[in-house]
Structure 1
Amino acid sequence: MNGEKGQALPLAIMALAFGMLVITPFLSHAGTNMISSGTYAGAITGNSACDAGVEHAIWNLTRGALAEQFSGPGDQVTYQLDEPINGLTTSVTVTSNATVGVGAGEIADSVIDTLEYDTADGFEPDIINISGSTYAIAYRGPGSDGFIKTVTIAANGDIGNSAIDSLEYDTSDGFEPDIINISGSTFAIAYRGPGSDGFIKTVTIAANGDIGNSAIDSLEYDTSDGFEPSITHVSGSVYAIAYRGPGSDGFIKTVTIAADGDIGDSVVDTLEFDTSNGQEPRIVNVSGSTFAIVYRGPGDDGFITTVDIAANGDIGNSVTDTLEFDTSNGLEPDIINISNSSYAVVYRGPGSDGFIKTVTIAANGDIGNSTIDTLEFDTTGGWEPRVINTSPGVYGVVYRGPGSDGFLKTISIQDNGDIDTSAIDTLEFDAADGFEPVVIYISGDIFAIAYRGPGSDGFVKTVDISRTWGSATWEIVATAGERSVRAYVETASVNASIISWRIE
């Protein structure tokens, strides 16, 4: 069988010499053997210098480091084989031609399904999975009151025709809610309530979407101001809330919430992490007791600060480290871990354009002295961006863009923080309005976006973002003397198929 494969490529070349069109099944068989052998020149007796050049390129694309020299379609690399073959020097030119099929980060051209879950108002929504196909949306609804509604979103993106259940958890005010799971069917909502004070309430939401008739417990954690709260789990029953408090300064407080929804009668600890300005904070865990807060700080610039929060809720007396990641503007930021100490921040920057920057944050809270990389992903407008990891190395950003429409863009970011120079793909998911969008993963390639749409109503839409990389296609031209061979090859990992091959 090995001898048969070894002769397949010369036979294919002979067929081409007689003007026959040779396509994938025959030459793929030959090329695969050559690749698996790893001896691209010596394995085919009597093969020409050009043929060896093509095989050399295939082997190096799939088994060597050649593919790493390409960053996108149209890139070209030319090199010569180290040793003459049949007395001829072989020159090889490889062009990254395209991607076959759909690659990771590519977005389907239209939304899958839509539900207008509130036909009156749907401000500042936040969405969370309850169980299976059941999801809850917390938002500021009619009368600026606080609402929760549950909906069904199937794995294929189909959304139920109406909400399952609804609860008006605050009949006075429910601004900027942030919802988090506590345990099982217990959920907590941090929000700006009556008098613009900071509140947290717990509710029960069953797996089928049924919501308890009233809140379980409530705590007014700041009796002065509690704007734009962001809540995260610390350890056990301890939770931290970062928010804009009195004087628009940045605050973080810890509270206890039991699995059954009981909230401690008072806060555990408090830190004023920015004594000048701390607007629109978002908090994430970095490692252990280290947490990072990204926010709009003094002068509307973009800041990241790290703090230490012990498992019992005690907060360090001062911040660990701070980086001003944008000295012009850093509005409505969101932060996500890329890999290890690499983090990405999306935000509305100078000119109200959409920006993404990468930074390093060590496990002990030390922040790199400068950003790693930057991409201006929308040069017209990038309001209220949120970011999600869609597949390895690919991130989706939802935001309100030009014309206040709703946009989704996918961006490639390497583990070391390097950002590709342009977005992978873009979808305008609402051509009328797309305020305050948030995005959540559903299943497979399906994601859901909740947002305030036309008429300030509450909407949720599903979209398809490919999570698998397609195979690459390459044009390989090998020239020796007066002869050239041009091949089109499809590669995926260490496998390759020859799409076409001709002598010129």
Structure 2
Amino acid sequence: VDALGSISDAVLGTLILNSGAAANSAVGGFALVAGDVVAAAYMTGTDVVVATFTCDSSGNIGAVIDTINLALDPGNTLHMPDIEKVTGNVFAVSYSDGSVDGWMKTITINDDGSIDEPELDSLEWQTSQGTKPYILQVSAARYLQIAAHAAQNRGYIWQVNITDAGIISLVGGVGYGAFDSYEYIGGVVLPVSGDVYVIFYHGGPSNNAMVATVTCDFVDAPTLINTWELFSGATSWPRAVEVSQNQAGNGKVFAVMISADGADTDQLKTIEVLNDGTITESILDSQQIEARLAYNPDILRHAPGIYLISARALTAPAKQTVYTVDIEEAVVARVGGIARRLVSEAFM
């Protein structure tokens, strides 16, 4: 993908991480190790695995370098794990085990891709069912994690401390709290300003695309500020990215991709969240990316104003597709405006 958003039709490289028995795998997250070395966290039908491989600046992907199995007999492979770099060669991995309990472990991944065993530390963050974690590094040693909590699958956020040596601990006595008392099926958490964070997720009372803001100061329990139903139709696992500061300079604009279905439904939307956690509860702009469902989407800022979107398009024939869109970032009246629906697309 070039700086203008044009996508080459040729796939540069591929790598099969798991081709053996029980190859029903789902990759939950990637983390850059050093240089061209990348780590991927995924579940198979029998294990929770972290694997390392290389991907150079030309897109060439090397063979698997090393793997570590963090748990046997994991839960549903759709309860995908997440991985985050802590510092240096220390990484945190969060996942569900065979009892569907939530665990976080820290491991050492060396610059050459070799993985040390055993793990450095472990923390069972949910003993009665914890699934679909997403980790955000807030600052040195401070991390937030959102996930489904207990049998009701309610949306919870955890405040976690991880030292440079990989020692994990919850903020004493007040490490977690609810942001959705109905249901959480998956999402992301992003910083807004100071101790204020925004969560984009699938859930709520009607299982729709939701937005919530919370305060997390790593001293007191998390506090819910505001919630809003972004989209009232069927959707799944929204993904979002920060676009820029808003026009007034008192908040941020975010781009949200949802997998909504419908001939006249816009899947890409931009919204505004103020620094105090207020959600302005209006769509700044929106565009339709696919005529039908754009399943399990993701969105990434590629270059100034250029954003990549990946989704499994169900417009016949179904295909995994990468799109590029142009979103206004300058602090002007049109901030958050989606200037072009589609710059380019490529099928995989």
- Smaller-chain TM-score bracket: 0.7 to 0.9
Match of 1:429 in 2: 289
Q: Does 1:157 align with 2:5?
A: yes
* Structure with the larger helix share: 1
Shift of 1:311: 1.0
Cα distance, 1:447–1:323 mapped onto 2, change above 3 Å:
same
User: What is the aligned partner in structure 2 of residue 233 from structure 1?
Assistant: 85
Larger Rg: 1
Q: Which runs of 5 or more structure 2 residues have no equivalent in the other structure?
A: 246-251, 335-348
Tell me the matched-pair count: 316
The partner residue of 1:467 within 304, 317, 329 is: 329
Match of 2:57 in 1: 207
- Aligned residue identity for 1:177: G
Corresponding letter in the other structure for 1:351: S
CA distance in 2, matches of 1:421, 1:161: 38
Instruction: After TM superposition, give the deviation of residue 365 of structure 1 in Å.
Output: 5.2
The residue number in structure 2 matching 1:337 is 191
Partner of 1:356: 211
Of Structure 1 and Structure 2, which has the larger fraction of its residues in strand? 2
Aligned to 1:398: 257
TM-score under structure 2 normalisation? Answer: 0.86
- CA–CA separation in structure 1 for the residues paired with 2:40 and 2:80: 12
Percent identity (aligned): 28
Aligned partners of 1:237 and 1:259 also within 8 Å: yes
What is the aligned-residue RMSD (CA, Å)? 1.9
Preserved CA contact (<8 Å) 2:307 2:326: yes
Tell me if structure 2 keeps the 8 A contact 1:306–1:365. no
Question: For structure 1, which runs of at least 5 residues remain unmatched after alignment?
Answer: 1-152, 473-504
Shift of 1:263: 0.5
1:401/1:193 CA distance change after superposition, 3 Å: same
2:43 aligns with one of 156, 169, 192: 192
Cα distance change of structure 1 residues 367 and 409 upon mapping to structure 2, 3 Å threshold: farther
- Does residue 407 of the first structure (1) align with residue 267 of the second (2)? yes
What does the per-residue CA deviation read over 1:435-461, in whole Å, with 9 as the maximum and x for residues that have no partner? 111111111211010111225521100
Give the match for residue 344 of structure 2: none
Quote the offset at 1:317 in angstroms.
6.9
Flag the 1:171–1:420 CA change in 2: closer, same or farther, 3 A. Answer: same
Equivalent residue letter for 2:196: S
Question: Separation in 1 of the partners of 2:200 and 2:302?
Answer: 22
Find the counterpart in structure 2 of residue 144 from structure 1. none
CA, structure 1 residues 282+317, in 2 after alignment: closer, same or farther (shift >3 Å)?
Answer: closer
Inter-partner Cα distance in structure 1 for 2:290 and 2:266: 5
**How many Å separate the matches in 2 of 1:443 and 1:337?**
20
2:70 aligned residue (202, 221, 230): 221
With over 3 angstroms needed to count, the CA separation of the structure-2 counterparts of 1:406 and 1:252, relative to structure 1, is farther
Q: Does 1:277 align with 2:136?
A: no
| Cα separation, 2, equivalents of 1:431 and 1:272 | 42
1:255 to 1:190, Cα distance in 2 relative to 1, 3 A: same
User: What is the alpha-carbon distance in structure 1 between the residues aligned to residue 290 and residue 90 of structure 2?
Assistant: 39
**2: CA distance, partners of 1:315 / 1:450:** 33
Tell me the alpha carbon deviations over residues 249-303 of structure 1, each in whole angstroms, 9 at most, x when there is no partner. Answer: 1110111101111111221111110111211110112232221110111212111
1:159 corresponds to which letter in structure 2?
A: I
Which amino acid in structure 2 is aligned with residue 304 of structure 1?
A: I
2:145 to 290, 293, 301: 293
- Contact 1:406 1:435 (8 Å CA) reproduced: no
Please, what TM-score do these two structures have when normalized by structure 1?
0.60
Higher relative contact order (CA 8 A, sep 6+): 1
Closer, same or farther: CA 267–406 of 1 in aligned 2, 3 Å:
farther
Query: Counterparts of 1:399 and 1:462 in 2: how far apart (Å)?
Result: 15
